[in-house]
Amino acid sequence: MRARRWSVAAGALGLVLMASGCGDGGGDGDQVEVFSWWTGGGEEAGLNALIERFEEDNPDIEFVNAAVAGGSGTNAQAVLEGRLQSQDPPDSFQGHAGAELQDYIEAGYLAPMDDFFDEQGLQDALPDQLVEQITYDGSVYSVPVNIHRSNVMWFNPTLLEEAGVDAPPETLDELLDALEAVAEETDAIPMAVGAQWTVSHLLESVLLGSLGGDTYNSLWEPGADWNTSEVADALSTFEQIMEHTQEESAAEDWQEAARRVSDGEAAFNIMGDWAAGYFEEVGALPGQDYDWAASPGTDGTYMWLSDSFTLPAGAPNEEAALTWLELVASQEGQDLFNPLKGSIPAREDADPERYADNPYLESALEEWQSEPELAGSFWHGVTVGNRWKNDVDTAVGLYLGDGDAEAFNDALHQAAQSE
Amino acid sequence: MSTAQNPSGVAHGDPGPTSAPARPPRGRRALHRARTWLPGLLLVSPSILLIGVFVYGMIGWNTRLALSDKHAPVQEGEFVGFVNFVALWQEARWPAAVANAVVFTVVFVGGALFLGWLLGLLLDKGIRGEPVFRTLFLAPMAVSFIATGVVWRWLMNPAPAERATGLNALFVHFNLDFLVNDWWTAPDFGMAAMALPAIWQLAGYIMALFLAGFRGVPEDLREAARVDGCSEWGVYRHVVMPQLRPVLLSAVIILGHMSLKVFDLIIAIAGQQIVADVPAVYMWAMVFEVRDPAKGATIASYLLFAVALFVIPYLVWTVRKERSEGR
C-alpha cells in the first residue's frame, strides 16, 4: 500500500517535470512564441487577425500567443525581464520602438535586424527619419508595426463656438487666448488633464509646439542643455496652460479627461490618438461632439510612438520568428492589423481604402503619407530610456505639488545630464 | 516529559537489581540519544532551510545589492558602501515620500486604534444585537485593499462643489459646502485622507482585539473596584485599561508594519503620482520601470529597517514576558 502511494507520488512529480519541460518550447522549429501585452479590445483583434493570416500561410508552424494582460504592458515587461534574464526568451516580443528598448540592447538581449531591414526593403518602405530615430549605435533592433500620434488636440466644437473661438488655435499663444475665452464665456473646464502622466504627456506637446521639431529632438540628446531661455519660455507657457486645468485632475485618468471634451464639460484635451478609438467606443460623433487638430504649434510635425516586434538573441525558433517578423513588416500584415487596433501603419505604402471608414485614421494616414517632420514622444519611450523618463515624470509630479518653475526647469536639466 | 502516574501506585520501569542489563554499546547509545533530538530537527529543518534561503538569504542578497553600484541589470556592481543610502536623502522625491508615509502612518495607526478601541468599548458595555454589530464592524477586513481603494477613490473625488461627486456631493447636498475638500490630492496633508480607507478597513479588526482584551479582564476585578466606590469610567480608566497594554502593543505593531509598507491601497486610489508617493511605490518604480537594482534594494533596506523598528521591540518584549512566566 505504502509502496503504491510512493509510486503515485513519483509519477505525479515526473508529470510535473515533463510538463515544465514542455513549456520551454524546445526549439524544434515547428512553433513560434510571440510575447505581447495585447489582450483586449482592438489590440487583441488586430493581433488575432495577424495570427490567423500567419497560420494560414504557415500551416506547419504552431503559433503560441504568449500575451500577458494588465497595466498597459507593465506586467508583461516584468514577466519578460525575468525570462530574458534567465535566458529563456520568447521568439519575438513586443516593445515600444526607440530608446525604451535601449536597456535590452545594452544587455545584449536583442539581435540587430539590419540584414532583415535590407532584405525586406524596410529602409525604403519606412520614412527615413523614422529609421534614423529608431537606430541605436548604427543598428536597428525592432520592426515597427504601427504608428500612434501623441500631439493631437481634441476639442469640443460647440464650446469653442460658445466662447467665440472661430477656429481651433494653431499656435500656443492662440491656445492661451482660447483658454481665456472659454474660462470667461462658458462654465466649462478650458483644458482637461488627468493623472500625473497625462500632464507629462501635455508637457511634450507644449515643448514641441514652443521649440519646434529640431530643438525638441535635440533636447533628448544625453547631456543636452535645458537651462536655455527657450525652454524657460516653453515652461512658462506650460504653466499658464496648467492654470486652466481642473482641480480634480489627479483623480482622473486619460479616459475621463477625454470624455469631458466629448461630453461638453471641457473645451480642450491634448492626448494621443488612441483617444479616437475611445471616443468611438463611447458613441461620440466626430465633428459634432469632438474634433481634432495637431496640438498648437506642431502642425506638420508628427510626434510619433510605435509598437514594434523584436528578435531576441538566442530565440529558440529563429527561422519561424523571422517568418513572423516578415508578416509584421509587410504592407499586407500592417494593413490587417492597424484598422482593428486603431492606428496607422509605419510603412508609407499603406492602402488608404482600408482606413476610409474611420475619419480619424483616414486623416492621420493622409498626414503620415505626406512626409511630415518626425519627432519622438519622450513619454512613450521613443527618445529616452526608462530612467530619464522617470526623472522627468518625477520632476513634473513635484512641480504639480509645489509649483516651483525654477526647480522644475533645473530638475529637467539634471535629468538630461544623468544619462 | 513526566511519566504517567501508575494507577496501582507501584513504580515501574525499574527492571530490578537482578536483570541489570549490560550498558548498550557506544554506537547504540549515540543512536538512542539521537532519537530524542533528530526527529524534532528533521521536522523543523525544512522550515529552517526555507526561511534561511528565502528570508535571510534574500535579505543578505538585498543588502549586498544596496551597498553596490549596480544601477542597471547588466552591470556587475562594485561595493560602494553607504553611498546609495546617503544619496536618497539628497534628492527631492525620497524625503517627500518618507514624509507622506509618516503622515499616513500617524493618522492610520492613531485613527484605527482610537476607532477600534471605541467600538470595542461600546460593544463591551453589552448592547442588543452585539453579534450583528461585531460582524458588521469586522466585515471590511474581508475586502482587499485594491477593492477598498477603487471604492474610496470614487468617494474621495476632489472635484469642487459645482462638479462634486462622492462624499463632496454629499456635503453639497446637505449644504455643508465648507467641508468640500481636496482629499488625498492636497499637496501637504493629503496622505491623511489616504489613511481614511485604511482606518475603515482595519478598525473592525482592532475592535475585535480590544473586545477580546476587555472580556479577558475578570469580572471580580471590576466588582472589587466598584465596591471600593469606583465610578464606571474609573473602572475602565484604572482597572481595565492597564490590563490592555499587551493588546495595544500588538495592535500598534500590526498596524504600524502594514502602514509602512502600504502599496496596493495607494496604487488603487492614486496610481503612481508624486502627490501620493510612498517608499513602497517608489521602490516598485525603481525596480520594475527604471530597472535600477541598487536603488530599489536601498529603498527596500530602509523599509525593512523601518518595519524592524516596530517589530524588534515587540519580539524582545514577548521573549521577556515568556521567560518571566517561565514558559
Summarised one tens digit per residue, pLDDT across range B22-43 is 565 667 777 888 888 888 899 9
What CA–CA distances, in Å, run from A160 to A151, A182, A283?
20, 7, 21
Residues 6+ apart with CB under 8 A from B299: B88, B94, B279, B282, B283, B286
Q: What is the pLDDT of residue B291?
A: 87
Q: Are A399 and A236 in contact (CB under 8 A)?
A: no
d(CA A104, CA A112): 12
Per CATH, A2-145+308-363 and A152-297+385-417 having the same topology is answered: yes
Residues of A in contact with B163 (CB under 8 A): 246, 248, 265
What are A152's strand-pairing partners?
A: A294
Whether residue A401 and residue B182 make contact (CB cut-off 8 A), yes or no, is no
| pLDDT per position as a tens digit, A321-337 | 999 999 999 999 999 99
H/E/C letters for each residue in A197-221?
HHHHHHHHHHHHHHHCHHHHHHHCC
pLDDT top residue among A129 and B35: A129
pLDDT top residue among A11 and A171: A171
Q: What is the pLDDT of residue B36?
A: 84
The C-alpha cell 529563456 sits at A88
- The CATH code of domain A2-145+308-363 reads 3.40.190.10
User: Does B158 contact A at CB distance below 8 Å?
Assistant: yes
Å from A108 to nearest chain B CA? 9
Please determine, for residue A4, whether its predicted confidence score (pLDDT) is greater than 80. Answer: no
User: Does B155 contact A at CB distance below 8 Å?
Assistant: no
Q: Are B213 and B243 in contact (CB under 8 A)?
A: yes
The grid cell for B4 is 504517567
Rounded mean pLDDT of A271-289?
93
Whether residue B292 and residue A387 make contact (CB cut-off 8 A), yes or no, is yes
Residues of A in contact with B275 (CB under 8 A): 196, 250, 397, 400-401
d(CA B296, CA B321): 37
Residues of A in contact with B182 (CB under 8 A): 247
Whether residue B291 and residue A103 make contact (CB cut-off 8 A), yes or no, is yes
Rounded mean pLDDT of A211-234?
95
Task: Using the CB atoms, write b or e for B33-55: b if 16+ within 10 Å.
Answer: eeeeeeeeeeeeeeeeeeeeeee
Q: Are A151 and A303 in contact (CB under 8 A)?
A: yes
Residues of A in contact with B274 (CB under 8 A): 196, 394, 396-398, 400-401
d(CA A229, CA B134): 64
Please determine, for residue A24, whether its predicted confidence score (pLDDT) is greater than 90. Answer: no
| pLDDT per position as a tens digit, A135-155 | 998 999 999 999 999 999 999
pLDDT top residue among B145 and A75: B145
Residues of A at the B interface (Cβ-Cβ below 8 Å)?
74, 77-78, 81, 85, 103, 106-108, 187, 195-197, 246-248, 250-251, 253, 265, 386-387, 390, 394, 396-398, 400-402, 407, 411
In the sheet where A266-270 sits, what is the strand order? A189-191, A266-270, A152-155, A291-294
Mean pLDDT of chain B: 87
Give me the phi and psi of A274, to 5 degrees please.
Answer: -65, -15
Residues of A in contact with B152 (CB under 8 A): none
Prediction ipTM score: 0.85
The grid cell for A61 is 508552424
- Of the listed ranges A322-326, A336-340, B147-151, B228-232, the least confidently predicted one is B228-232
pLDDT top residue among B16 and B93: B93
d(CA A76, CA A380): 16
Q: What is the pLDDT of residue B249?
A: 87
Confidence of residue A371 (pLDDT cuts 50, 70, 90): very high
d(CA B242, CA B106): 23
Whether residue A402 and residue B187 make contact (CB cut-off 8 A), yes or no, is yes
Q: What is the pLDDT of residue A228?
A: 96
Residues of B in contact with A247 (CB under 8 A): 158-160, 182, 185
Confidence of residue A85 (pLDDT cuts 50, 70, 90): confident
Q: What is the pLDDT of residue A13?
A: 47
Please determine, for residue B89, whether its predicted confidence score (pLDDT) is greater than 50. Answer: yes
User: Does B99 contact A at CB distance below 8 Å?
Assistant: no
Residues of A in contact with B94 (CB under 8 A): none
Neighbours of A239 (CB within 10 A): 14
Whether residue B273 and residue A250 make contact (CB cut-off 8 A), yes or no, is yes
Kindly state the percentage of chain B with pLDDT values over 70. Answer: 91
Which residue ranges make up each domain of chain A? 2-145+308-363, 152-297+385-417
Q: Are A389 and A104 in contact (CB under 8 A)?
A: no
| pLDDT per position as a tens digit, A189-210 | 999 999 999 999 999 999 999 9
- Of the listed ranges A227-236, A283-292, B117-126, the least confidently predicted one is B117-126
Q: What is the pLDDT of residue B35?
A: 84
Q: What is the pLDDT of residue A42?
A: 86
| pLDDT per position as a tens digit, B261-318 | 899 999 999 989 999 999 999 999 998 888 899 999 999 999 999 999 888 888 888 8
Of A85, A250, A402, the CB nearest to B185: A250
Whether residue A394 and residue B274 make contact (CB cut-off 8 A), yes or no, is yes
* Superfamily of domain A152-297+385-417, CATH level 4: Periplasmic binding protein-like II (3.40.190.10)
**Selected residue of A248, A254, A386, A408 to mutate for chain B interface (largest B Cβ count, 10 A):** A248
| pLDDT per position as a tens digit, A400-419 | 999 999 999 999 999 999 86
Of B159, B270, B288, the CB nearest to A74: B288
Report for A15-19, A370-374, B38-42, B237-241: range of highest mean pLDDT = A370-374
d(CA B243, CA B43): 37
Of B93, B160, B273, the CB nearest to A195: B273
d(CA B301, CA A335): 50
**Selected residue of A68, A83, A100, A196 to mutate for chain B interface (largest B Cβ count, 10 A):** A196
Give me the phi and psi of A29, to 5 degrees please.
Answer: 80, -10
User: Does B168 contact A at CB distance below 8 Å?
Assistant: no
Per the confidence metrics, is the pTM higher than 0.90?
A: no
Å from A397 to nearest chain B CA? 5
Of A78, A195, A386, the CB nearest to B271: A195
Please determine, for residue B19, whether its predicted confidence score (pLDDT) is greater than 70. Answer: no
Confidence of residue B188 (pLDDT cuts 50, 70, 90): confident
Q: What is the pLDDT of residue A22?
A: 42
Q: What is the pLDDT of residue B30?
A: 79
Å from B163 to nearest chain A CA? 10
Q: What is the pLDDT of residue B261?
A: 86
Confidence of residue B149 (pLDDT cuts 50, 70, 90): very high
Whether residue A251 and residue B93 make contact (CB cut-off 8 A), yes or no, is no
Please determine, for residue A126, whether its predicted confidence score (pLDDT) is greater than 80. Answer: yes
As a residue count, chain A comes to: 419
Please determine, for residue A181, whether its predicted confidence score (pLDDT) is greater than 70. Answer: yes
Please determine, for residue A3, whether its predicted confidence score (pLDDT) is greater than 70. Answer: no
Q: What is the pLDDT of residue A71?
A: 59
Q: What is the pLDDT of residue A297?
A: 96
- Of the listed ranges A165-179, A180-194, A196-210, B175-189, the least confidently predicted one is B175-189
The grid cell for B254 is 500590526
Whether residue A398 and residue B92 make contact (CB cut-off 8 A), yes or no, is yes
Residues of B in contact with A248 (CB under 8 A): 157-160, 163, 185
The residue of chain A with its CA nearest to that of B164 is A248
Whether residue B92 and residue A411 make contact (CB cut-off 8 A), yes or no, is yes
Whether residue B182 and residue A247 make contact (CB cut-off 8 A), yes or no, is yes
User: How wide is the angle at C-alpha A368 spanned by C-alphas A241 and A257, nearest 5°?
Assistant: 30
Whether residue A107 and residue B74 make contact (CB cut-off 8 A), yes or no, is yes
**Selected residue of A86, A198, A390, A402 to mutate for chain B interface (largest B Cβ count, 10 A):** A390
| pLDDT per position as a tens digit, A249-260 | 999 989 999 999
The residue of chain B with its CA nearest to that of A411 is B92
**Selected residue of B289, B295, B299 to mutate for chain A interface (largest A Cβ count, 10 A):** B289
Task: Please count the residue pairs, one from chain A and one from chain B, whose beta carbons lie less than 8 angstroms apart.
Answer: 87
Of B301, B294, B303, B298, nearest to B263 by C-alpha is B303
Mean pLDDT of chain A: 90
A301-305 and A373-376 beta bridge pairing: parallel
